[in-house]
Amino acid sequence: MAGTDRDEAGSTADPVIEVRDASVRYGQVRALTAATLSVGPGRICALVGMNGSGKSTLMKVMLGLVRTHPGRVLINGAPPSSARRRGLIAYVPQREDVDWSFPTTVREVVMTGRYAHLGPTRRARTRDHRIVDEALGRVDLTELAGRQIGRLSGGQRKRAFVARAIAQQAEVLLLDEPFAGVDDLSQRTVSRLLRSLADDGATIVIATHDLPALPSLADEAALLAGTVVMHDSVHQVIRPENLARAFGLGE
């Protein structure tokens, strides 16, 4: 059975995220070719590679936001669209497509993470407010909770969207460069937070350019260069001869 195969990163559990032979084109641009990647429960997998190597596209494949042809994508054994509908996947995009002048507070943005859990009335209950407060505290934004989202710095905005993902209490978290523009202290806070979520069973994928932070951030890493070139433990992937394969550096 495919799920019991030991993959390159050494996991034997049934994968939570399974992408097999995914190819994606944007018009004439071939963004991914036959990309295969499985991530097991409670694991943190980093996606690394140069600009344009396909990291964001692979995340969109996992979310079912772009079509793969051919290929297969399963989240907990089901198509990503159904996992998304049930609120099982939280996503922090690389660039938030929001109207920054819209008068929404940080707290309201984080509350949108609770939407899949609210009933048809969309009315937040005490528990939802508590979860939102906790998420704000965990990214150190409690004091800015009432501020309009457009009036935050870039790094604070990133943290607000990480808080929204946390408040969602999803089984799968996909974070596309969550640390871009985030200071070192906040990055360490968020990294610790992600680790504790993984210890509680969440499966996490993070696209990042921060290679030095990888050993403290992730368990395993996938090297991308238009496909998944390599998927192994962080320590294997960051060996210079392996990075050279994806980053085109001289060995």
Ligand X SMILES: Nc1ncnc2c1ncn2[C@@H]1O[C@H](COP(=O)(O)OP(=O)(O)OP(=O)(O)O)[C@@H](O)[C@H]1O
Residues 6+ apart with CB under 8 A from 247: 49, 50
Which of 15, 49, 93, 178: binder of ligand X (CB under 6 A)? 49
Which of 11, 53, 56, 156: binder of Mg ion (CB under 5 A)? 56
- For residue 138, how many other CB atoms are within 10 A of its CB? 20
Which of 36, 94, 112, 242: binder of ligand X (CB under 6 A)? 94
Which of 1, 4, 29, 241: binder of ligand X (CB under 6 A)? 29
Does 186 interact with Mg ion (rule: CB under 5 A)?
A: no
Question: Do residues 26 and 200 lie in contact, with contact meaning Cβ atoms separated by under 8 Å?
Answer: no
Does 36 interact with Mg ion (rule: CB under 5 A)?
A: no
Query: Mask of contacts with Mg ion, 102-121, x by CB under 5 A?
Result: --------------------
Could you list the beta-strand ranges (E) of the chain. 17-26, 29-39, 44-48, 72-75, 89-92, 172-176, 203-207, 220-224, 228-233
Phi and psi torsions of 130, nearest 5°: -65, -45
Q: CA 239 to CA 247: how far, in whole Å?
A: 12
CB-nearer residue toward Mg ion: 83 or 174: 174
Size of interface with Mg ion, in residues (CB under 5 A): 3
Which of 16, 43, 44, 56: binder of ligand X (CB under 6 A)? 56
